[in-house]
Amino acid sequence: MDVKYWLGFVSEWLGVIAVVMIAGASPLLKNIRHIEFRYPRREATFSLSLFALVYLVAFQYFSNPILNFLLNLADPFPGGEVAQRMVLAVVCLIPFILAMVLRGQPLKSIGWGKANLKIGLIVGFLTVVLTIFLRGKFITILRGISPEQGNLLLVWLILSLAEETIFRGFIQLRLSTFLGGTWGWLATAGLFLLWQLPGRLWILPFSEIWPVLVISAAQALLLGWMMRKSGHVLTPALFRTAAGWLLLF
């Protein structure tokens, strides 16, 4: 991978940081409503237990023939591995949603609160526009996209919404209450990095894995920071959708 490839990512990340910080100077981001849990240790233990469960499922998903029927659900979608990870993310989101519902917790407990919805949409939209600009794709998109590109956008949107709800919504909010904002953010980024290993570890050569891990580590920190700033899952999810889709556009 050449220097231009890495500079593209770095410029994108720096641009997003600048946009969020500028937005943060406005009254918009000063009205964010943060959530706190009454029993932080219990919530943290619960979220880590669920992560351990879905992490085991993820390794089985890519290696156990019994779960091939789930892998096959990705076949109608474009994107190959991206589509497979989309299906995995949706399947793994289910226990987190069930945990929220069965425990009588509101949507804001997984980063989908009404109070921060407008903020999440606005900041997320700004990062999407910036990403399109930095990738030089405005004219291309205005000329129209193919059905396959549209389906790929849907794949990235579903993947991003599911994974960001799990990590930035469910896990980060709880770890941040228990460990504090900074350590909860960093711990969640570490778990997200581990999430990249199923389907790659012991399968792909190290030369193919390390760029994914480096990019994922930087993205995990950025996405978690965006969640802290906006208070809504939509912000990191929309940025991640645009960034991932435009890489394959």
Residue 176 lies in a domain: yes
Residue 30 lies in a domain: no
Residue 149 lies in a domain: yes
Residue 156 lies in a domain: yes
Domain hosting 106: range is 3-23+41-137+144-247
Chain mean position to CA 42 = 24
Q: Domain count for the chain, please give it.
A: 1
Residue 107 lies in a domain: yes
pTM check: above 0.85? yes
pLDDT (tens, 9 = 90+) of the chain, 249 residues, equals 577 778 889 999 999 999 988 887 777 667 788 888 999 999 999 999 999 999 999 999 999 999 999 999 999 999 999 999 999 999 999 999 999 999 999 999 999 999 999 999 999 999 999 999 998 888 888 888 999 999 999 999 999 999 999 999 999 999 999 999 999 999 999 999 999 999 988 777 877 888 889 999 999 999 999 999 999 999 999 999 999 999 887
Residues 6+ apart with CB under 8 A from 10: none
> Residue 112 CB: number of other CB atoms within 10 A?
18
